[in-house]
Structure formats: C-alpha cells, structure tokens
Chains A and B, each alone.
Chain A
Amino acid sequence: MAIQAAHLRELALSDSGFVFDPSTGHTFTVNPSGLDILRWLKDGAEPEEIAQRLADQFELEPGEDPARDVQDFLMQLRECGFIK
C-alpha cells in the first residue's frame, strides 16, 4: 500500500520525540518507536517494511503484532491529516 506522505515529510522531528508541523504550528510528542516509524515513513518506507523493521529492532512480547501496531499508528496519522 503506497502512502501519500507529502505533508508528513515537512514535519520537523526531534530526537526527543517532539514533533512540529511547520504548516499549522501544531506540536505533539511520540514515543521512540513512533519516532522511528515517522522517520521511516519520511524516507518512503512501506507499512510492511516498517513492521518488519519494528520486529527486528524491538523485542516483541507474545501476542504483539507489529503490523497491527503500524496500521493503528497510520490511522492516527491519517486522522491528523499527515498522510492520505
């Protein structure tokens, strides 16, 4: 699934997880994995690839599904208007 992330690419991301949207002035914070996902999305990664990277990078608890977590996160980004 290709993600239209033009708006997302404008976001200013700080290492602390503080995010600034320069076109609206809104700010929000994300946790470390959220920050990674935002960075990967800015680089053009697809959701499946992001889920795989999360699985590689973080120790998953039994029952955790990175693909579902990514979809939840994408839904939040969509609600905020950062991706289409």
Chain B
Amino acid sequence: MDELDVTVGVTGMNATDNPAPGVGVARSLRHAREFAGRVIGLGYDTLDPGFYAEGLLDGGAILPYPSAGREALRDRLHWVRAEMGVDVLIPTLDSELRAVLAIVGDLEQVGTRTFLPSLESLERASKAQLPRLAESGRIVIPPSEPVLTADAIPKLGSRFGYPLVVKGVYYGATVAHNEADAIAAYHRYAAQWGLPVVVQKFIPGEEYNVAALGDGRGNLAGAVAMRKTMVTDKGKGWCGVAIENERLTEITAQVVGHLSWRGPLEVEILKDAQSNDYYVIEINPRFPAWIYLSAGAGLNLPYLLLLLALGLPLPHPLPRYRPGTMFVRISLDQISDLATYEQLSTSGALRPSRKEGS
C-alpha cells in the first residue's frame, strides 16, 4: 500500500481534564500504517499538553485567539503553511470552526486543504437550531428551546417539568432540579459562551455517542459508536467501550444525510429508559476527544478524513471496527526540559525537524 507523505495541521492540543480532540486526532493519524507524513500541533497556549507529548508531533504553533479576528488567524495559518508546509488543516474545536470556514478559500489558495461542513450545515446543526432541525420530522430530539433571557426559564420549567437540562451554546450541560439551579446555569453559560442558552426537557435514559464522517454528498463515510463507562465530574468520558448498534448508525446516517454533512461530527444520542425511543441530543461539528478509540477499534476516522481532504478514495469496503474495544484515559505527568516551552514562548512555534533526505 502506498504511503501518504503529507503534513497535517491539527488544532486543539489542550488535553486537560476537559480535553480537546486534537491529541486524539494526531494519535489516530500516527496510528495509521499508511501515514508517513508529519503532524503539526496547533494550540492557543504555550502549555497545551499536546505540545509536550513525546513522539506525537513533528512541530507546533500557537494560534491567535478567535477574538483577534479572522485576518489574524488567516495570516498565522499562512505562516504555518509557509514555514511548516501544512497540506491539510484539521480544526477540532467548535469555537474556531466559523473563523476557519470564513478563510477556507484563502487557505486553499496557498495549498492548505480542509474537509469541513458548509456554514449553513454548521448553523443548522447548532444546539440553538436543533429544535428547527427536528421540525423536519426526520430527526427526533427531546423538547428544547433556545432562550435569550433568564425570564424564559420559569415558563419552560412549567412546560418541561423539573429536572430540566440547561446547555451552553458551544459547551456544557447542567441538569437543573429546580428553577434557581436552572437560572444559575443559564447565567453561567451565557457568561461563558454567549447566547442563546438551550433549555431541554430531561429524559432519563442512557447516552450513546457516535463519531462519524460525512462525505458532503449526504453519505455516511464511516461511524464508530461508543458508550461512556465512566465520566468525570464535568461529564467527560474517561472510559468507554465501542458498541455496534444499527439504530445508532441509522440515526447518524439520517443526520449526515439531512445536513449533507461534510467532515467530522459527533452525534450524541439518548435512549429513553422507559420507551426505548432514541433522541438526538446534540450534534457536535467535530471529532470527539475520544476519537482515538476509532483507530484502536479498527476504523480510523481521522485517517479517512485525511483521505477525503486530499480527494483520495476511501478503502472499499471500509474495515469493520471491533465492538468491545475500550478506552481508559489516564493522567500522566509528562516530563519536558525547558527547550519546548522556551521555543513556544519566544517564537510561538516548534520548528519541525527536517526529514531525512529532505
């Protein structure tokens, strides 16, 4: 099999207790036997742990925060392309996607490819727009309302009953057991992520997560389903197991088809404990932090994404993944000398080492 010698920029190196997916994506690329290229880590902080992971990256760069504006991001990514030869960019954070989408044309002009959803698909999949998406009848969600003021909470509390779920527009969800908790959660998410805040009926049941890839023509290019077997106090999966459940794949394919989704996504699905009905509770426009499970279980979704971004055909048939494959996250103290920190602090970049023969 031909080796793929390309340079891939991956954002989201902040692998903390609320980890971004970047380290998982980078590890997945490294895991692919066919991948003989380089991985450039992109982050927002000199202390993002991924920069210090031994053997993970060939180079790295600090990006400007989204608040610095799209021009600043474009200029920085052009610089990364010029200095490190990034052929494909894989953004992994919800909060940076719109900015990247706005400059996709500029990136392609200098030779940096992406494989991302359209802005329209992204908006339609957002938490705030999910109720409208469900109106199509093809995607079933729990009763939900995006709200712009805390004054709306009491009425929704009466309508949905307590507990109910309060969600930030980008991240976070709180199960509120009374009006005071719901209002406090509203203010917390409004301050942290902006408006709207989404209020959703609480449905007791079991949650499943599906990491997937859409080909942009309405087809599911691959999917791996998982159930979290241990979560942190922030609700983040700390352990999980790959599962095989036709219903989850069907629902994910419906979401991808309905949105003509292009690129990675994660669909969070709830199975009602009483009725056994399935509900889509969230669509995340990126791979999840646990994405390395897909590579470990035998269906390496980040590598498939890379093929799609390069316009290369996917393997046919796709490999089947192994249900029962588990991930168990671990906290490790990485040891580093000052050189990495020094480089990132003084120049904002980790220079890739030259490849043999280049």
Contacts and interface: CB of A to CB of B under 8 A. Distances in A.
Interface of A: 12, 20, 22-26
Nearest to B240: A25
B229 interface: yes
A24 B227 contact: yes
A81 to B, nearest CB: 8
Contacts, number: 24
B323 interface: yes
A20 B324 contact: yes
B226 interface: yes
Tell me what chain B mostly uses at the interface: helix, strand, loop, or mixed: strand
Tell me what chain A mostly uses at the interface: helix, strand, loop, or mixed: loop
Contacts of A24: 206, 227, 243, 245
A10 to B, nearest CB: 8
A23 B324 contact: no
Given A23-B245, A24-B245, A26-B227, 15 more contacts: A12-B324, A20-B324, A22-B243, A22-B244, A22-B245, A22-B324, A24-B206, A24-B227, A24-B243, A25-B226, A25-B227, A25-B229, A25-B240, A25-B242, A25-B243
A20 B323 CA distance: 9
Interface string B227-249: 10100000000001111110000
Contacts of B323: 20, 22
24 contacts: A12-B324, A20-B323, A20-B324, A22-B243, A22-B244, A22-B245, A22-B323, A22-B324, A23-B243, A23-B244, A23-B245, A24-B206, A24-B227, A24-B243, A24-B245, A25-B208, A25-B226, A25-B227, A25-B229, A25-B240, A25-B241, A25-B242, A25-B243, A26-B227
